[in-house]
Structure 1
Amino acid sequence: MSADRAALEEALQRGEEEGGYIEFKERLSKEVHLSGGRMESLAAQLRHRVLSGEGEATYVVGVTDDGGIAGISPDAFSESMDVLSLLAEEAGAHIEDVDTWGVGDETRRASNGSGGGTTRGDDPDAGLVGVATIREGAMLETDEEHIVVGTAGHVDHGKSTLVGSLVTGQADDGDGGTRGFLDVQPHEVERGLSADLSYAVYGFDDDGPVHMRNPHRKSDRARVVETADRLVSFVDTVGHEPWLRTTIRGLVGQKLDYGLLVVAADDGPTKTTREHLGILLATELPTLVAITKVDAVSDERVAEVEHEVEKLLRDVGKTPLAVERYGVDAAAEEISDSVVPILRTSAVSTEGLDDLDYLFETLPKTSDGQGQFRMYIDRSYSVTGVGAVASGTVNSGTVEAGDELLLGPMPDGSFRDVEVRSIEMHYHRVDEAKAGRIVGIALKGVKEAEIERGMVLVPKASDPRAVRSFEADVIVLNHPTRIGTGYEPVIHLETISEAAVFHPDEGRLLPGDTGHSRVEFKFRPYLIEEGQRFVFREGQSKGVGTVTDVHYD
C-alpha cells in the first residue's frame, strides 16, 4: 500500500458499522436515488453518518456493500458525486474533498480543487473508486467585500516575496523564502522567477489578519476562506520581460479592484516598471505603489527612489501620495484612478506591512459586478471523477451549482450547452460565485480539451453572439514609426490574447496619436462588447483602446 492510498485502505479495513461514520456505495444515480422518496431516506442516512463522525463522514464510492472494489466509469463516478452533493445539501452538510484512484492503481490519481489536478497511473476508463469527505454545515457563502488585487513590477523587485509575507504574516529570510508560497512550477522555484500567474489569499476577522499557516496545503487556503470575515485575493503577475504577455493577461484579464506596483529601493523604477504602470493606469485601476527592500539601503536612497516614483506618476498625470508624509488614513481616503499612494515596505523587517494590512482591510470593493453572470476563462484542467474545470474571475453576476450555461464561442462561432457541477474558490467548495471571485467551475457537457482561454461562460438565456471584428478608439503609446492598415499586434482583452489586424481611419496612426480603427481578429471570433478596454502589443510597440462598436458574425 502506498501512502497515497492510506485513506482508502483505512476506510475499507474499518468497514461500515451501524453507528459509524463510513458508508459504502457502488454508485449513485439521479434516476434511482433521487426519486420515490429515496432522496429523503438517503439524506437521513448521510446525516446519521455525519453525526456519528462528530461532524465528518466518509463515503467510499465504487465499492460493493461488503467493501469489495468494483470500480465504476468516470461518467458514473461524476454522476455519483452530483447525487452525493445534493444529498449532503439536503442533510445540511457539504462535500469537503474527493480523492479518486483507478482500479488496481497504487497511485492516487487526483484531488479536486480550483488550483488544478493531476492524473497518474492506470487508465481511468478501467474504473474508478473514490473517497469523499462529507463535513457538517452548508457550503461556504463568501463575504460581499472580497477584493482582488493584481500585482506588477520588475523581476527581482520583491513582488512575490512581499505578497508571500502578507498572506502568511511571516518575515522573509532575506533570500526570497516567502516567494515560494506563490510560485507554482518547479522550475520557477529553482530559478526564483515566476513564469505564470500565481494566486494567494488572506483575510481579516475581528481580531485582525487571518494568515495562511502553510500555503502549500490547499486545506489551509480553504481554512482562510472559511473563517475570515473579509477576503483579499492576489493575482501575482510576472516581472520578467519575456513574459510581459502573461503580465498583461493578469492585469487585463482579471476582475481586479486594485493594482499593487512594486519598485525596489536598491534599483528604482525601470523600463518594466513604466510599462506595468502604464498597463495599470490604462485600465483605470486604482493603484498602490510599494517601495520594497527599504531595509537593504540607506534612508537617503529610499527618499531618492520615492521622488523618482512621484515624478513618474506626475509625468502620466497622476497625483502621488506619500504615506510617509501624509499617513495611511489619507491613503485609504484618497486612493482613486488619479491619486496613487506610495508606501515604504520590507518583507524582511516587515516595515510597512501593517499599513498594507490596514489598507486591504478597509479599502472598498471598486466594482459592483451587477448584471447577468459572465466569466472569461483563464485556465482549464481536468480532474479525475469531476471532469472539465474552467477557472477564472467572475466578471459580473452570480452563478450557482446546477445552472445551465453556454460556453464559447467555439472556433466556428457557436456556443456549447454546459451545466455547472460544482464551484470551488481557493480549494473550498462554495454555494455560489459572485463578481470578483477567483473560482474553478466544474462543467458537465464538455471535455477539457475543448475549453480554450478567452472563451466565456454566460447564462443559457443570454443569446450571445460571436464577434470577428469591432470598432475601437485607440491610443498609440509607443511605436517606432506609424501604424498603418494591416498592422498586426496581439490584442489583450479580458483573458483573450489573439492576433488582430488594424485598419485605422485615414490609413495611419502616429506615436502619441489618439484615433479610430477597425480591428479584426485574425484567426477566430470571441465574445466582446462595447465599452471593454484592451491593450495591444507587437514587439516594442504598445497601445490601449476601447471598443466602441461590434460586428457580429
Structure 2
Amino acid sequence: MSPDRAVLRRALDRGEEEGGSVEFKERLTEELHLAEGRLESLAAQLRHRVLSGDGEATYVVGVTDDGGLAGISPDEFSESMDVLSLLAEEAGAHIEDVETWGVDGVADAAAGDEPDGIVGVATVREGTVLEDDDHIVVGTAGHVDHGKSTLVGSLVTGEADDGEGGTRGFLDVQPHEVERGLSADLSYGVYGFDDDGPVRMDNPHRKSDRARVVEESDRLVSFVDTVGHEPWLRTTIRGLVGQKLDYGLLTVACDDGVTETTREHLGILLATDLPTVVALTKADLVDDERVNEVEREVERALREVDKTPLRVDRHGVEAAIEEISETVVPILTTSAVTGEGMDTLDELFEALPKTAGEVGDFRMYVDRTYNVQGVGAVASGTIKSGEVEAGDELLLGPMQDGAFREVEVRSIEMHYHRVDEARAGRIVGIALKGVREADVERGMVLLPVDADPDPVREFEAEVMVLNHPTRIDDGYEPVVHLETVSEAAAFHPDGGQLLPGDAGETTVRFKFRPYFVEEGQKFVFREGRSKGVGTVTAVHTDGSE
C-alpha cells in the first residue's frame, strides 16, 4: 500500500467510535443534510468529533457506515465537500486538507482512465478561516545573490541567517504546488501578526505550519517570489505583473550595489504603479561608508525615474507608512545575519494598509491550471476585481477561436482552506464544472456570465523602452506580459521606430491568438536584452478574428 493510501487505511482502521474523532459518510447532499434541523444536528456532531480529537476531526467520505469502500462520483464528492464546508463553518471549524483516491478503477486510472468512484479523507480543524481583508501580498525582486530569499526566510521564521544563506533553504520550494488535493497559495513565504506581535513559521516546508500561521494571525503578509537571474526575468515579470500585489520589496546588496538587473526590476515595479520598499541587504559584510554609498546609488536610481527616496532611519517608520506611494519609496538597511532592520520591516508590514482592490464585476486571469481527482479542472490566480461564490456561473476564455465558454464554480480554495466566497486581491483556486483542464490555459480570464466580452488580437499602447541594444523597428516581436498573458506580439510603432529611453505610441498585435484586454492595463515586454513597459490605450475588437 502506498504512503498516500495508508492515510485512508489508518482512518478506516480507527473507525467510528462514540467518543472518537473519525466520522464515516457515504455522501452529503445539500437537499438532505442542509435541511432545517438537520444542519444543526450534523454541525453539533462535527463539533463533537473535533473536540474528541483535540481540535481535529477526520471525515471519510465515499464509504459505508461500516467503513466499506463505496465510492461516489466526482460531482457527488464535490457536493459533499461543499456541504461539509458549511457544516464546519456552522461548528466554528474549517476544512484544512482533502485527499482523494479512486476505488474499483484504480488500475485503469493509473493508465489514464477515470476511476469508477472517489473516496476521500477530509481533515477538519477547529477555528474559522482568517478573514483576510487585512492580508497584504508583497512581490519581491532583486538581482541574483542580493539576499532576497534569505531576507524573506528570516522574516517568516524569525531565524537569523548563518551568513551562508541558510534561511534561504526554507524557501527553496516550488511557489505553487498541489499535493493530492486542491491548493492555491502562490506565495513562497507567509507570516502574520496578532495582538502579541509576529506569528512566524517553524518550518515553511510543512503545509500544516503555513495553515497554522493563517489561523492564528489577525494580519497576514504573503511574499510572491520572483527570480533574480537574468535568464529567468520572464518569471520575475510574471510574478510582478500577473498577480494582484499590494507592495513591492526590492533588495539591493550592500557589497554589490545597484546593477543593471536592479534597474530593470525597479523599472518594472514602478512602471506598474506598485508602491515599493527598497531593502539594502548584507549590511554585515561592509562598513558604514559603503552602506551610505549604496544608499546614494539607490537614491540616484530613484530620482532618475522621478521617484522620491525616503530614508526610514532618518524619517521613521510612521513617515514611511504614511508617505509610501507610487512616487515615494522608503529605503532601509538590513542584515539577515545580525538582525539589523528586521524589526523595522516587521513594523512596516504590520501597519502598511491593504491597497484598494479594483472596483467592478468579478474578473480573474488564469495563472495556473490543474486536474484534481474528485474535483476536476482547477484554475488558480488572483482575483482582480469583484467577488465569486461557489455555484456562480462564469465565462471562461477566450479560447483559441476567440469564443468564451460557460462554466460553473464547483468550489473555491484559499490558503489550503475551502471557502464559500472570495473577493478582489485573494489568491484562489477555483474548481470549474463544464470544461476539461486541457482546455484551460494561462492567460484566459474568468468573467460574469453576462459580461459579453470581446476577444482582442490587436491594441494600441503607449510604451517606454527601458533597455535596447539598438532600436525598435516596425515588426519588432517581443514577448508581452499582460496580467497572466505571456505571448509573442508584433510592434508597429508610430514613426517606424523607438530608441532606448524613448516613449511613444505603438500598435501591438498578438502573434498566435486573442486575449481579453482592456484600456488602462499595464504590461511589460521583453526580447533578449530588450525590455520595456507600456499601457493599453485602445483595443481593436474587430481585429480579433
Where does the alignment leave 5 or more consecutive residues of structure 1 unmatched? 108-118, 187-196
Secondary structure of 2:367's match?
Answer: strand
Name the structure 2 match of 1:10. Answer: 10
Measure how far apart 1:155 and its partner are: 0.6
**Match of 2:16, as an amino acid?**
E
Structure 2 match to 1:287: 276
Question: Which residue matches 2:523?
Answer: 534
Conserved 8 A contact 2:85-2:418: no
How does 1:139-154 map onto structure 2 within 5 Å? 139-154=128-143
Describe how 1:20-419 pairs up with structure 2 within 5 A. 20-29=20-29, 33=32, 37=35, 40-41=37-38, 44-54=41-51, 56-89=56-89, 93-103=93-103, 125-136=115-126, 139-185=128-174, 198-419=187-408
Aligned to 1:63, the other structure's residue is in SS state coil
Deviation at 1:313, TM superposition (A): 1.6
The amino acid across from 1:407 in the alignment is: L
Unaligned runs of 5+ in 2: 176-185
Give the Cα separation in 1 of the matches to 2:377 and 2:367: 14
Which of 442, 460, 473 does residue 484 from structure 1 map onto?
Answer: 473
> Partner residue of 1:498?
487
Is the CA contact (8 Å cut-off) linking 1:141 and 1:431 kept in structure 2?
A: no
The one-letter amino acid of 2:123's match is T
The whole-number CA distance in structure 2 between the counterparts of 1:47 and 1:463 is: 45
SS at match of 1:457: strand
* Aligned: 1:443 with 2:432: yes
Contact map agreement 1:2 1:106 (CA 8 A) in 2: no
Q: Secondary structure at the match of 2:457?
A: strand
Distance 1:203 1:94, change over 3 A: closer
TM-score for both structures, normalised by structure 2: 0.90
Does the residue aligned with 2:374 lie in a helix, a strand or coil? Answer: coil
Aligned-residue offset at 1:492: 0.9
Partner SS state of residue 532, structure 2:
strand
Measure, in 2, the Cα distance between the counterparts of 1:43 and 1:382. 34
Name the % identity: 74
Could you tell me which amino acid in structure 2 is paired with residue 429 of structure 1? R
Contact 2:187–2:222 (8 Å) recurs in 1:
no
Please say if residues 22 and 49 of structure 1, whose CA atoms lie closer than 8 Å, have aligned partners that are also in contact: no
Q: 1:436 to 1:407 in 2, by over 3 A?
A: same
Residue 467 of structure 1 aligns to a residue in which SS?
coil
Deviations 1:17-46 (A, max 9, x none): 45544332333455x7468x5x74366235
Amino acid at match of 2:469: P
Amino acid at match of 1:520: R
Distance in 1 (CA, whole Å) between partners of 2:316 and 2:82 is 52
Structure 1 residue identity aligned to 2:525: F
- In structure 2, the CA distance between the partners of 1:446 and 1:366, relative to structure 1 (3 Å rule), is same
When residues 53 and 314 of structure 1 are mapped into structure 2, their CA distance, relative to the original with a 3 A threshold, is closer
Q: Alpha carbons of 1:375 and 1:266: their partners in 2 closer, same or farther (altered >3 Å)?
A: same
Please report the TM-score for the alignment, with normalisation by the length of structure 1.
0.88
Q: Give secondary structure in 2 for the equivalent of 1:307.
A: helix
Contact 1:533 1:544 in 2 (8 A): yes
2:492 match: secondary structure: strand
Change (3 A) 1:34 1:459: farther
Q: Deviations over 1:111-142 (max 9, x none)?
A: xxxxxxxx9899651533211223455x5252
Cα deviation 1:407-454 (Å, max 9, x = unaligned): 111111112222222222222333422222222222222222222111
The verdict on how the C-alpha distance between 1:308 and 1:461 changes in structure 2, with shifts beyond 3 A counting, is same
